[in-house]
Chain A
Amino acid sequence: MEPDGYLIPMGNIEIRHLYKSYPNRRHQPRSSDEAGIGYGDQIPVLDDINLSVSDGEMVCLLGPSGCGKSTLLRITAGFDGPTDGSVEINGRLVDGPQADHIFVFQHSGLLPWLTVRENVELGIRHLKDPRARRARVQEQIEMVELEGFEDHYPRQLSGGMQRRAELARALAVNPDTLFMDEPFSGLDFLTHMKMREEVVNMHEFIRKTTILVTHDIDDALIMGDRIVILSGRPAKVEMDRTLGFDRPRDFERQPALNQLRSEIYLMLGVPYAV
């Protein structure tokens, strides 16, 4: 802490000159652009990624499928190491997963043998006072509107409820950063729309730094304070733009947003926005 009481901002992320390559594990090339890459050769995935995310920002990471968005997210969260370059969160080098930086998995990361309550409790199991612990769990469960389902097992919940339970578990530890890997994949259309709104509201409310990987351009434009678009492999940052649009966002009422949407569609290889 600085002498004048100035708090070091929590949740800022610095990604510097990040490179990642994987050894090729395929004997046959996956596509024609991989011709000439033999077994065991290094395949570059991330190519000099630089990104600086400030405290409380929601960044949506977009890119063509297989470009390395998830890899970038996993490295940032400490689940994987970079080949070169570094990631710092709050000035500390990321060298492994941390309870301050919670990752929300693409498919349910809830432990299926624990109830909703027990799952939400995972991150705060070290709290000594059982009543405080219970209160915190209850607060998070109410926040995601899962009251009455505390003693249900994940398999007894719908897909959307499972995502909300996982979100409650992540928020219970009061993390400084949240990583979400395609949090809406596999949800039906309406649940997707509702979850999207809930995540936006949640972010407005608690202002945690969030990096969200998605392949859905509309999700990114509706949700993000900023969008970062990666190119195809090896991925470079192709667009990095802060979205100053008012919320709730609406493509019809905000022509500039709609304009940007068409631009991104074109950029990602779809000539017109549907």
Chain B
Amino acid sequence: MTFSQIQAPNSYRRRLLFPLLGFAGLVLVWDLSARFSGWDHQVFPGPLRVMAVLGELMAGGVLLQHAVASLYRVTAGFYLAIFFGIPLGILLGRLQSANLFINPLIQFLRPISPLAWIPLSMLWFGIGDKPAIFLIFLSSFFPIVVSTTIAVNAINPIYFQVAANFNFNRGEILRKIIFPAIVPDIVTALRLSVTIAWLVVVAAEMIAVQSGLGYLILDSRNALRMDYVMGGMIVIGLIGLSLDTIMRILGHLGAASWNRMDT
């Protein structure tokens, strides 16, 4: 490692420039391989064609509609997972007996892919938003529970002794010790699980609904429009990137970064 690498981590300009260069390189490789692959543009459309199609979709407002539909499902399912997952995680982290009782069940259900639930969820919730929201919920719920439990277990026991010493009641222990202590870990967990949720929504939309980016891709495949398929993929990627960026910014807020040494 050179001296400058140790001293200056990454300047603002480099943090902006390098990813852009990466994207430019990807587009270049894509363009060249599309041109020289010998495949028809209907099988492997190049970036210019896909950009044109994206412009078309955006102008008609169709793209926005699909994106909003997908984001709505992810948001609903994700909030439900947070709403139920974090309290359950805290309970499991604090109560040994509850943990012994419920943790094996969670570890049993967790490895079952949310996609395996598709038949049941369609049967139970019909078609429309509900089965998709249920699948999103499943995909985020277990990771959130598990990370919350781990975060609560990792709280330094001294803090609970301090709480006991200053006569904290249960509510105060929750508000002043547990919540602030786990916030940094929770934000990291949410950052990881929102990506999974976004991954699952596309798959969920390929079966039970008539809207959303997953539906756009499926519908375009049926129409053999690979340029639309790739356009949909790009939008999914871009929204995923934005979600991750938002979660990363959340992680830098004061409440989520008390454990970082650099501030």
Q: Does A157 contact B (CB under 8 A)?
A: no
Provided the pairs A98-B167, A99-B167 are in contact, do residues A109 and B261 lie with their beta carbons within 8 angstroms?
Answer: no
Please tell me which stretch of B1-9, B46-54, B89-97, B154-162 contacts chain A, meaning at least 4 of its Cβ atoms lie within 8 angstroms of it: B154-162
Give the 4 A-B CB pairs with smallest separation, nearest first: A113-B180, A113-B258, A97-B164, A97-B165
Given A97-B161, A99-B167, A173-B166, does the pair A111, B176 have CB atoms closer than 8 Å?
Answer: yes
Chain A interface size band reads 20 to 34
B177 interface hit (Cβ, 8 Å): yes
Contact of B151 with A by CB under 8 A? no
Restricting to A81-116, which residues have a CB under 8 Å from any CB of B? 96-99, 101-103, 105, 107, 109, 111-114
With both chains docked as a complex, state the minimum distance between the C-beta of A230 and any C-beta of chain B, in angstroms.
22
Q: Is the CB of B165 within 8 A of A107?
A: no
Other A-B contacts than A79-B164, A102-B165, 10 sampled, CB-CB below 8 A, are: A96-B164, A97-B165, A99-B166, A103-B165, A105-B158, A105-B162, A109-B161, A113-B180, A113-B255, A113-B258
Taking a contact as CB atoms under 8 Å apart, the answer to whether B261 and A155 are in contact is: yes
B interface, CB within 8 angstroms of A: 158-159, 161-162, 164-167, 176-177, 180-181, 183, 255, 258-259, 261
Q: Is the CB of A111 within 8 A of B177?
A: yes
Instruction: Specify the main secondary structure of chain B where it touches its partner.
Output: helix
Is A183 interfacial (CB-CB < 8 Å)? Answer: no
Distance to closest chain A CB from B173 (angstroms): 12
Task: Fill in one digit per residue for A111-155: 1 if any B CB lies within 8 Å of its CB, else 0.
Answer: 111100000001100000000000000000000000000000101
**With known contacts A98-B167, A99-B167, A155-B261, A111–B162 Cβ distance under 8 A:** yes
- The prevalent SS among residues of A at the interface is loop
Given contacts A97-B164, A98-B167, A99-B167, contact A112 B259 (CB under 8 A): yes
Cβ distance A127 to chain B, nearest Cβ, rounded Å? 13
Which residues of A are found within 8 Å of B180, using beta-carbon distances?
A: 111, 113-114
CA distance A109 to B177 in the complex (A): 12
B contact residues around A153 at 8 Å (CB): 258
Would you call B162 and A109 a contact (CB within 8 A)? yes
Q: Which residues of A contact B258 (CB under 8 A)?
A: 112-113, 153, 155
CA separation between A97 and B162, bound complex, in Å?
9
CB atoms of B166 and A109 under 8 A apart: no
Residues of B within 8 A of A103 (CB): 161, 165
Partner of B158, one of A96, A99, A107, A123: A107
Query: In the assembled complex, which residues on chain B have CB atoms less than 8 Å from the CB atom of A111?
Result: 159, 162, 176-177, 180
Residue from A97, A111, A123 having most chain B Cβ neighbours under 10 A:
A111
Residues of B within 8 A of A101 (CB): 165
Q: What is the minimal beta-carbon distance from B55 to any residue of chain A, in angstroms?
A: 47
Check if B159 sits within 8 Å of A99, measured CB to CB: no
A98 to chain B, nearest CB (A): 7
From B158, B181, B259, contact of A109 by CB (8 A)? B158
